[in-house]
A and B are shown apart, each in its own frame.
Chain A
Amino acid sequence: MSVVIVGAGPAGTRAAEVLVGAGVRPIVIDEAPDNGGRIYQRQPAGFRRGARTLYGFEAAKAQAIHDIFDRLRPSIDFRPRTLAWNLRPGLIDTISDGKAGAIPVAQTILCTGAMDRVIPLPGWTLPGVFTLGGSQIALKAQGCAIGARVAFLGTGPLLYLVAYQYARAGAQIVCVLDTTPFTTKAAQAFALMRGGATFAKGLYYIAWLRAHGITIAEGVTSLAIEGDGQVEKLSWRDARGLRHEVAADAVAVGFGLKPEAQLADLAGVPFDFDPVQHNWVPRKDSNGQTSVEGVFLAGDGSGIQGADLAEAAGARAAWAVLAARGLTVDARAVARLDATLAAGSNFRAALERAFPFPATLAADMADDTILCRCEAITAGELRAAANEALATLPPSEVNRAKALSRVGMGRCQGRVCGAAAAEVLAASLSCPVEQVGRLRGQPPVKPIPILPAEAA
């Protein structure tokens, strides 16, 4: 029976490397046309930019991951353009180019990655508003900027990185608006210094942007995007409460990352609320093993740790798989990985504290702001559903609120609005956000054709 790795990013690549080294030939599934994941996404054939242009300071790491993967290709069963849409005991349901499949599996390593964590804002569904991660993909994988005058807003390391990458590529940047006050970041400076190069790079991006005359505002509130059929302008209040307005035709927005953990959910892995990340994360032990037999987790899909730790976690989970299969485990390699993972997690926690999720921005969302972009449901509609049902059966958690309001029932299954919807609901019910729970995953994890060509 096979070992299946879902996700060919940094975690999946390192997992495959360890397995192949031990003589196991894993099946590696990825929905994308090629390996690399989102962070080290490869550009399509025919594009010619070098690694340095595409990945900047991370060029050597990206190149290493690509080289390892290319070397592994003959020794793995790589299935790109394949969506794993359900994970049942011993079976992964897939669809690839319209063809349905089911892979019997003994051990699965889920390296499913992350996506941007979003807070709906007035005007965020207008054409021209994209996630920070999406804006980076436009540049990296398509050689495009999302607009002619781009504003960056949100918080987190990606905010400054993508703005920097856009500026370097010659795009015009209107401003960079960070919801985190300077003092919050400064309070973590000492702990962040342990991150060494990573911290230094972050400071470099910010300094570079400032040196090139790009407006950076910290501690901003009251963000709103306006326009008629497309983004036309952006307004905000600065840390002193003064209102600003600026013309822009595109906005990149994101508030950190959240795990894409739907398959772990379907497999039955329990989740915990991580107060530092402010995310629900699937529970695993330090070697990546879960309480569900044969299910292992690695990388950002099991809690946001960043690409470097994803590599270590991928390798670590692969060793755990080898142990489960009764194969020899290199204790020294495992000890090295454990040390890397332990050291890295302290830095990561400091980074999360330096760029906290601005929960009140979500909780205080105006009633007329569209919360669920799939079905254009407003925050007010969710609050009304919460209040209406409060008298009889309290919608004490998000899944019940979903049934009442349809928030989270759309085609994205709450990937986009789920985190903010939980804040709105928790504020309505005056309880901590972890008390309202998280949206349960449903198969298929993404829309698939109703009539896949089963026989084809």
Chain B
Amino acid sequence: MRLQRVAEMDRPAVSFMLDGAPADACVGDTLLTAILAQDGYLRASEFGDGLRAGFCLMGACQDCWVIIEGGGRVRACTTPIEDGMRVSRGRPQP
């Protein structure tokens, strides 16, 4: 699964770091959109049942938490992407 951009694709680009690798997104993306448009998960469940990619997109389920360097833990669905952001998803379990 990747989010598919179907509209508003001519927005200016922003660059960010995803787990140490350079990545691109668009101005106005949430972190959730920025990440899931290029890779299919946001976090690994702490309870060993696999990867998660958010669920409600409205700040209710708390299943899209990622770490921003210098900003701590944030909800990806309600946090706008910013140029130069360094985002970490934690290490997926094997």
Which residues of A come within 8 Å of B, CB atoms? 31-33, 38, 43-49, 53, 115-116, 125-131, 133-135, 137-139, 142-148, 169-171, 229-231, 249-250, 260, 370, 373-376, 410-412, 415-416, 446-447, 449
Contact = CB atoms under 8 A, between A and B. Distances in A.
B90 interface: no
B3 A146 contact: yes
Given A49-B7, A125-B45, A449-B72, A147 B1 contact: yes
Contacts of A32: 59, 78
B33 interface: yes
A143 B8 contact: yes
Contacts of A446: 59-60, 62
Contacts of A147: 1-4
A138 B33 CA distance: 8
A108 B58 CA distance: 23
Interface of B is mostly: loop
B85 interface: no
A138 B61 contact: no
B56 A46 contact: no
10 contacts: A31-B78, A32-B78, A33-B80, A127-B52, A128-B53, A131-B55, A145-B4, A169-B7, A229-B51, A416-B60
Contact of A127 (B5, B6, B51, B80): B51
Contact of A144 (B3, B48, B51, B60): B3
Closest 8 CB pairs of A and B: A134-B57, A128-B1, A127-B53, A376-B47, A143-B8, A143-B7, A44-B28, A411-B62
Contacts of A411: 62
Contacts of B7: 49, 53, 139, 143, 169
A38 to B, nearest CB: 6
* Main DSSP-derived SS at the A contact region: loop
B6 A249 contact: no
Contacts of A128: 1, 40, 53
A55 B60 CA distance: 23
A125 B33 contact: no
Nearest to A372: B47
A423 to B, nearest CB: 19
B30 interface: yes
Contacts of B49: 125, 370, 376
Contacts, number: 145
A231 B1 contact: yes
A171 B6 contact: yes
Contacts of B58: 38, 115, 131, 133-134, 137
Interface in B25-57: 27-30, 33, 37, 40-42, 45, 47-57
Nearest to B62: A411
B58 to A, nearest CB: 6
A115 B53 CA distance: 18
Contact of B61 (A38, A49, A415, A449): A415
A31 B75 CA distance: 12
Contact of A375 (B3, B47, B54): B47
A144 B5 contact: yes
Contacts of A142: 3, 8, 28-30, 33
Given A44-B80, A46-B28, A128-B1, A373 B55 contact: yes
Contacts of A370: 49
B8 A170 contact: no
A376 B54 contact: no
Contacts of A137: 57-58
Nearest to B47: A376
A374 B52 contact: no
Given A134-B57, A169-B7, A373-B55, A412 B62 contact: yes
Nearest to A135: B57
A130 B63 CA distance: 11
